[in-house]
Amino acid sequence: ETTRVAIVGAGPAGLLLSHLLAEAGIASIVIDQRTREEIETTIRAGILEQGTVEVLDALGDFSRARTVGHRHDGIELRFGGEGHRIDFAASVGRGVWLYPQHEALKDLIAARLDAGQDIRFGVSAQRVEGVDTERPTVVIADAEGTVSEIRAEFVVGADGSRSVVRPAVGGSSSEGYFREYPFAWFGILCEAPPSSDELIYSNSPDGFALISQRSATVQRMYFQCDPDADPDAWSEAELWDALQLRVPGTTLNEGPIFQRDVLRFRSFVARELQRGRAALVGDAAHTVPPTGAKGMNLAVADVILLDRALRALLLENDERLVETYAETASQRIWKAQHFSWWMTSMLHVAPDASEFDRKRQVGELTSVVESEAGRAYLAEAYTGWPLA
Ligand code: DHB
C-alpha cells in the first residue's frame, strides 16, 4: 500500500508529526510495534517546555497539558544542605509544565484517531529500503508475523533509541557521537503528598537526587545509583533512606512505593540525521541523559523543523529544507546535549571523584546560584530556547 509519509514510531515525535502534516493536508501512516495500552501507560519524563505546551495547544481540547498539568515557575538547586531557587519567571519570563509524557501521548493518540489518522499498533518495521529513490519503502510485520510493505514519498524514523530506520539513514545503527556515564537513576513512584512546591535537584556528598511530582497524591523521585543496580534488591525502607540522605536539610513525605525502575543513561547523536527520502527525529536521532528533562522537548523541536521541510518537499517540490534539516536540527541538539551533560556533571558525584572534584563542583554550583547570568542561562535552557 502507499501513503505520502510513513512514520515509524507512535511516540511524541511520530504522533505530533502526523498531526502537523495532516494540518497541511499531507497524509501519513504511523506504525508502532507496541500496543496502544503499552504506549499510554509506560512511565517516562514529566517536564514540558513552555514552547512544547504551545505546540500541543494545536490539538485544541485534546491537549490537557494546561488543565491537568501544572505550571512551574522555578526549581530548587540544593547543595551543601541548603536550597537555592532558580526563578524562571523572574529570569526569563517563561515557565515549564509538569505533565507526564504518557498523558501527552494519550492526548495525541485521541486527537489523531478522532481525525481519522491511520495508526497501526502492534506493527513493527523490519527495514527501510530505497531511501535514495523517490519511493522509499518500509517493510513491516504485523503481530502475527505477516510481512508487507508501505511505499511512501518519505520515511521518518521516530522509533526511539533502537531505531530500525537509523541504519537506512546512516549505514549503521551505531554510527555517531557517544558519551557514557558511570551512574544511573533509581526511579520510584510513591503514594504521598508533594514534599516541596517545586522540583528539587539535589547534590550531596552521597550523590544526586531529584524530587519530582506527578499529582497531589503521587510523587516521582530519583536518586543516583550504580548502572548495574537491581531495582528489586532494595527494601522500601532502604529506598527512603537513600533518598533522604541525598536531600540533606529537607524532609521527604514518605508513602508506599508502587513502581521502581533503573534508568541507564548516556549521551548520543547519530552521525547522519537525513539521507535522501528518510530522516530521524527524537530518540532515533539522539539521546540525552535525563537531568534537565530535554528528551521529549528536543523531539518536538526536531518535528517542528521536519514538518516544515516536508511541507516544502511534498507541497512545493522544494528539497532545500530537507537537505538542511540535519544541520539546522543539530544546532539545538548540541545545545541540549551540552545542557543535559552540564546539569548531569554538575549535580552527580562520579564514583572516582577526588576531593578536588567535589570542592570544584560546589564552587560551580555556588557560581551558578550567585550569578544572575548563571541563573539566567539555566532558566533559559531549562524552559527551552525559542522554537524555529
Ligand atoms: C522528571 C524527569 C527529569 O529528567 C527531570 O529533569 C525532571 C522531572 C520527572 O520524571 O518528573
pLDDT at position 45? 85
Within-domain flag for 87: no
Check whether residue 284 and residue 311 sit in a common domain.
yes
Q: Give the CATH number for residue 42.
A: 3.50.50.60
Average pLDDT for residues 193-206, to the nearest whole number?
97
What is the number of domains present in the chain?
Answer: 2
| Residue 214 Cα: closest atom of ligand 1 | 11
The closest residue, in CA terms, to atom 11 on ligand 1 is 46
In angstroms, what is the span from residue 371 Cα to ligand 1's centroid? Answer: 24
Residue 367 domain-assigned (yes or no): yes
ipTM of the complex: 0.98
For 315-325, letters b (16+ CB in 10 Å) and e give eeeeeebbeeb
pLDDT score of 101 more than 90: yes
**Atom 2 of ligand 1, nearest CA residue:** 45
Q: What is the pLDDT of residue 272?
A: 97
At residue 29's C-alpha, the angle toward residues 309 and 159, to 5°, is 75
- For residue 157, give the nearest of 55, 276, 41 by alpha carbon: 276
pLDDT at res. 291: 97
Mean of per-residue pLDDT scores for the chain: 97
Q: Which residue's CA lies nearest to atom 8 of ligand 1? A: 46
Residue nearest atom 7 of ligand 1, based on CA coordinates:
293
**Ligand 1 atom with minimal separation from the 44 CA:** 10
pLDDT computed for residue 174 by the predictor = 85
Residues within 6 Å of ligand 1 by CB = 45-47, 199, 210, 212, 220, 290-293
Question: Which atom of ligand 1 approaches the CA of 98 most closely?
Answer: 11
For residues 18-31, average pLDDT: 98
83 domain residue, yes or no: no
- For the full predicted model, state whether its pTM sits above 0.95: yes
309 CA distance to ligand 1 middle (Å): 31
CATH of the domain at 185: 3.30.9.10
Tracing cell 524555529 back to the chain, one arrives at: 388
Same-domain check for residues 66 and 150: yes
Active site positions, annotated: 72, 201, 290, 294, 382
Q: Which residues are CB-neighbours of 38 under 8 A, at least 6 positions away?
A: none
pLDDT value at residue 172? 85
Average of per-residue pLDDT across 13-22: 98
